[in-house]
Structures are given as structure tokens and as C-alpha cells.
Amino acid sequence: MHYDGSSCNGCDIEVLACLTPLYDVERFGVINTGNPKHADILLITGGINTQNVEIVKTIYSQMRNPKVVVAIGACALNGNIFRDCYNILGGVDSTIPVDVYVPGCAARPEAIIDGVVKALGVLEKRYEQLKKGIVPKSVREEKAS
Amino acid sequence: MVMSLLAGGFVLLPPLIGGLIAGLDRIITARMQSRVGPPLLQPFYDLIKLFSKQNIASNRFHRHYLMCYIIFMIFSGAMFFSGRDLLLVIFAYTLADIFLVMAAFSATSPYSFIGAQRELIQLIAAEPILLITALGMNMACGSFNTAEMFKCKEVLFLDLPGVFFALVFVLTFKLRKSPFDLSTSHHGHQELVKGLTTEFAGRTLGIFELAHFYETVLLLGIIYLFFAPYWWLALLVIALTYFAELVIDNTYARAKIKLSLLWTWALTIAIGGGNLVVLYILGHVRN
């Protein structure tokens, strides 16, 4: 599952490039889905602004545990050149917990695939935790505590 | 005894066979798009993953409907492979699909609703030819029992070529392949989100996938019946049919729902029904 925040679309195109015959991320069993309820890994490009903050939270909360978030590109990391804009809240981690950071402007497909494979490793750990009964807190619970 | 063993085998084997077919399906599809594709056992990894995910249902009856779906799917397959009445097999199969539609309707998502409505239309499109297949096999073989059809001395295909091709056409609906993957938008990814399966997540999606493995094996079993006397020929035809489905899947864009209904019915009546009429007349001439 991938969501384009307030990115310039550059990283977004690179995410889709990972699905093409040249990079073929399905080699690792990963496929792109448009449904958060079927997704394990959320790829977000671009920073978070006041308009998409709720959307990002909704998508994240609709995904079933265990789940992993990958922030892709410089804007998703900390807002990059947009960070001083009046409507930008910052990187993705200003809104939801991020597990893997992929830097770059735009991030290279190789780097994105590397990030996704790292995310699979994190996912594996989450499954172990879930078996032991540790469920990560939701965004709202985290804010409340 | 042998038949009950076969029925028992149907409960256990299809998840393996169906999973392998799905794995091959994904690899061949990837190769057709000049990609490498996932490992052969990927569908099994996916299934294990789905069953170990956290389960949050949007409706508490959701899972029960899906349980009914898979139970009736297994039931119809077990009836088929233990040599019972083909009509009963088809009715149980349809009932299973109705439970799937009810599961989709029990969720609140509009995408799930549209998917369920489309699934109903797909049922309407696919049902006549399934019944015509049963009727045709009865006319050619003299019995509705699949046990008789498996033992049939003649190649049923020679009597029922029209029915066979109409059935293969409808298989595209049933195997959820483009241009007819309308209700789940299996390859569309974005259209209708995921249609019928939008609200299935984790374990419920796992049940759906598992039931689809059973469904695939049952449908390919019906193809087998057409060439029952020669098992090697039947397996060859099954492989060719599935490959043809993949080629169609990869080369055709999605059809509109009204058009697909029209095409299927036209084809069903023309070559499926026509085949039955010819068979009926020939039967009278011979006597």
C-alpha cells in the first residue's frame, strides 16, 4: 500500500517503478494493493500537511496488526525544503510511528526495495511480538498516554 | 470405499494443489510481463501470514458467512470427487457463492457492496452454462452421477464440444481473471479498491483465498470429466486451458459488466444450447 502525502510525485513514481519488469519487487512476494485492510507495509512519500494528516491516520488505523511504515524520500523524513511552509507539520513520524526511513530526492528504486526488504524484517519481529501478545498501541492511544 | 477416500482426499489435497497452481499462475504471469515473479510457494506464505494477522471484523456475522462459504465449497467438491450427482454439486457450489455475496453485503463499505452486486451478476452469467454442462453430460453419458462420468467409455468432449468451449469461456469469471475479474478487481488494484474482498482482512481473507483453491480444483475437475477415459489427455487439456486463461488474463482489458453478461449468455445459448439441441436430434436419429 502506498500513499502520496504532499510530495512532488517524484518519489511516488519511483515507488511504482519498483513494480516494473526492471526492478520487480514481486520477487520478494510483495504486491501493490489499494486496500489498507489487505496491506502489511505502508509506504508514504512526501511530508504531512494539515489536509492529509487525518487521511494518513485513517489509513494507518485501517491496517491490521502487525504493520510497518516506510517513509520514502527527504520530504517524508523531515519535510525537507517544504518544512517551513505554513501548512506542513513535518515528516511522516510527526503523525504516525515510522519504522524504516529511505532517504533521497527522489529516492532510488533500489533504495526503496532495500527499505521494503528491511520492513519485511521488522514485520517478522512484530509477528513474534504478536504471538507473545504484545500489540502495538494505536495512534490515538499513544496520543492519550 | 474408494469414493469416500476420494472425498476425504478432496478435503486435504486441494489446498496443496490449488496453492501450487496459484504459485505457478503468478510465476507464469510474471514471465509473460518479462518479470521474474515470486517463489513458487508464495501463496502458502501469504496464507500463513493472513491466518496469523490480527483479526478485526466490521460485522460479527462476517466470519460465519465466510465459514459457510468454505464449508459448502468443500462439500460440493467432495460430492464431485466421490461420484455423486453433478446437479447437487453445482447447486452446493452456487449456494457457497451466495454465502460469499452475503459476507460482502454484511460489511458497510460501499466498495464491498458494489463488489457483491457484481458477483451476483457474475453468478447469473455463469450459472446457465454450468447447468447445461450437467444436462449435456447426462445426455451423453446417461447419468447425472460423476462416478459414471469418470468411468464413461467415450470422450465426452466429442459429444459436447460447444458446451466445453462455453464452459471454458465462463471459467474466466470463476477463476477471477481479466476481462471478467469484475467483482474482486483482482488485477485492477485501484478500481473499487478490492470490490467484494475490501472488508475481508487477515483471517477472513485467508478463508476466502483457501476457498478459492478448492474452487479452482473443482472447476478443473469438471474440465477433466470431458476427457475422462484418457487421464493424460485430460491433464494436458487442463494445463492448456489454464495457460489459455493466463494469456487472456494478460492480454485483455476489463470488460463492462453488461457486455460480459451479454457475451456469456449469447455464447451459452448459441454454442452450449445449440450443442444440446444437436445432441438431442442425433439421439433421436440414431434410435
**pLDDT for A44-99, tens place per residue?**
888 888 888 888 888 888 888 888 999 898 888 888 888 888 888 888 888 888 88
d(CA B148, CA B166): 23
Which chain B residues have a beta carbon less than 8 Å from that of A33? 189, 194
Question: What is the per-residue pLDDT across B205-218, written as a single tens digit (0 to 9) for each?
Answer: 888 888 888 889 88
Cα–Cα nearest to B101, from B208, B251, B13, B22: B208
pLDDT reported for residue B92: 92
Please state the φ and ψ torsions of residue B72, each to the nearest 5 degrees.
-70, -30
Which residues neighbour B38 within 8 Å (Cβ) at sequence distance 6 or greater?
A26, A27, A28, A29, B23, B26, B27, B30
Which chain B residues have a beta carbon less than 8 Å from that of A26? 26, 30, 35-38
- Region A138-144: mean pLDDT is 51
d(CA A58, CA A4): 14
Given a contact cutoff of 8 angstroms between Cβ atoms, the answer to whether B138 and B252 are in contact is no
- Return the DSSP state at A45: E
Distance from CA of A11 to the nearest CA of B (A): 19
Residues B39, A26: C-beta atoms closer than 8 Å: no
Helix (H) or strand (E) holding B45: helix B42-52
- Joined together, the cell numbers standing for residue B216 give 479452482
Would the pTM of this model clear 0.95, i.e. be above it?
A: no
* Res. A135 pLDDT band, cuts 50 70 90: low
Please, where are the H alpha helices in B60-189?
62-81, 86-105, 110-141, 146-151, 156-159, 161-174
Kindly state whether A35 is in contact with chain B, defined as any CB-CB distance less than 8 angstroms. Answer: yes
Residues A37, B30: C-beta atoms closer than 8 Å: no
What is the predicted ipTM?
0.78
> How many Cβ atoms sit within 10 Å of the Cβ of residue A133?
6
Per-block average pLDDT, block size 10, for chain B (287 residues)?
Answer: 71 85 89 86 87 75 86 88 87 91 84 86 87 86 80 79 87 79 64 74 84 89 86 88 87 78 85 84 78
pLDDT reported for residue B148: 78
